[in-house]
Chain A
Amino acid sequence: MQRQTLDALLRARDEKRAVVLATRLRDGIEKLIYPSENIEETWLIEPVSQVVKSDKSRTVEGPDGEWFLNVFNPPLRLILVGAVHIAQPLARMAGDLGYDVAVIDPREAFASEERFPGVRLVRSWPDEAMAELAPDARTAVVTLTHDPKLDDPALQVALKAPCFYIGSLGSKKTHAARLERLTAAGFDEATLARIHGPVGLAIGARSPAEIAVSILAEMTARLRT
C-alpha cells in the first residue's frame, strides 16, 4: 500500500465519506474509488456499488487480473434520546462496537460533557435534533427518557427514516400507551412494529450496564442476522 493511499483512507474516515480501495493482487496496483463520484472504469461500477451496499469487501475478476475491493464505509451511527444513566454505559460500549454516538437531550443538567466525555451532545428538542442528525439505513435510534414529550417526537422522525434499528425503553404497559399515541398520530401497525419495545434482548438485565448489553445485543442481531 502506498503511504498516500493510507492517508486518503484516513481522510475519508474523518470526513465520514465512503471509499473503496481496489488492489490488483498480482502487483499491488491501487485505485481509490469514491462511490459519490463518477467511476471511470465501467467494469468497477457494479461491484463497487455492491460492496458499498452490502458493507462486505470481496475479490473480483477484472479485465487485467484479480482485484480486491476493500470497502471503508463511514461508521454506523447510534442516536440516543435521553442523556440518562443507561445512556452512559450504552454510549461507551457502543463506541467499542464502532458506532459514532450522538446523545440528544435538551436538559443541560443531563446532557453534560462531564457525564458524556467525548460524546457528541445535541441539546435541542428531539424533533429538531433528529432532523439535524438525519438518520439513515446505517443508523440505530434508541429512546431512553420515558417522557412522551421527548421520546415521541424522536420516534416520529425515526419511523419515517430507514433506520436499521429503533428501540424504546419502557415497560410493556408504557410501550402499549406509546403505541396508542403513535397510532393516533397516524402511524400504521406495520410501521409501529419496527419499534423494539420493551427494548433489548430478554437476558434479565438489571443494572444500566447490563441493559446496555441487552440493547446492543439486539441491535447487533438486527444488523447482522
Chain B
Amino acid sequence: MSETFTDDQVLEQAAAWLAGGHKVALATVIETWGSAPRPVGSQLVIRDDTAFTGSVSGGCIEGDVITRALDLMERDAPEILEYGVSDAMAWEVGLACGGRIRVLVEPVKGV
C-alpha cells in the first residue's frame, strides 16, 4: 500500500530527500493547549527548495514554519516556535481555532 500516507511517511520522505542531495529540516509539535489542530508528535518535513510534506497544524502556520526552517537549515541548534490565537482580520500568523502550540524545528544533519 505504497500510496498511503500517515505521519510515519514524513520521516521516509526526509530520508529520500536527503538521499537526493537536498538539505532537510523537520518540524514537530511538542506541546498543545486548547483546541490544537494536530496532536503532539505530528511532523512536517521541509526541503531546501520549500517543498514540504506532513503538517503541524491545519495549514494555518505551515507557511511561517517553512520560512523559519529554511533559515535554520545551515545552523546546528534547534529552534522552538510558539503560536497562539490569530486575529482572523489581521495578516498575522496564528491558529484560528483558538489553541496554542509549541513546535520544535531542527535541521537533519550528517550524511
Contact = CB atoms under 8 A, between A and B. Distances in A.
Interface in B70-85: 76-78, 80
A3 B15 CA distance: 8
Contacts of A118: 1-2
Interface in B1-42: 1-2, 4-8, 11-12, 14-15, 18, 26, 28, 30-31, 39-41
A6 B41 contact: no
Interface stretch (B49-57, B59-67, B89-97, B103-111): B103-111
Given A6-B108, A56-B39, A70-B41, A96 B4 contact: yes
A57 B41 contact: yes
B6 A56 contact: no
Contacts of A3: 18, 108-111
Contact residue range for chain B? 20 to 34
Interface in A23-54: 23, 25, 27-28
A156 interface: no
A74 to B, nearest CB: 10
Contacts of B107: 1
A92 interface: yes
Contacts, number: 74
Nearest to B108: A1
A58 B40 contact: yes
A68 B110 contact: no
A59 B30 CA distance: 7
Interface string A69-100: 01110010000000000000000100111100
B8 A6 contact: no
B32 to A, nearest CB: 10
B30 A1 contact: no
Contact of B15 (A6, A28, A58, A119): A6
B41 A56 contact: yes
A97 B78 CA distance: 30
A25 to B, nearest CB: 6
A64 interface: no
Nearest to B6: A98
Contacts of B108: 1-3, 6
Cβ-closest 6 pairs across A and B: A95-B1, A57-B41, A3-B110, A98-B6, A28-B78, A95-B4
Interface of B: 1-2, 4-8, 11-12, 14-15, 18, 26, 28, 30-31, 39-41, 76-78, 80, 104, 106-111
Interface of A: 1-4, 6-7, 9-10, 13, 23, 25, 27-28, 56-59, 68, 70-72, 75, 92, 95-98, 101, 118-119
22 contacts: A1-B26, A1-B106, A2-B110, A3-B109, A6-B11, A6-B18, A10-B12, A23-B78, A28-B76, A56-B41, A68-B28, A68-B30, A70-B41, A92-B1, A95-B1, A95-B4, A96-B1, A96-B4, A96-B6, A97-B6, A98-B8, A101-B1
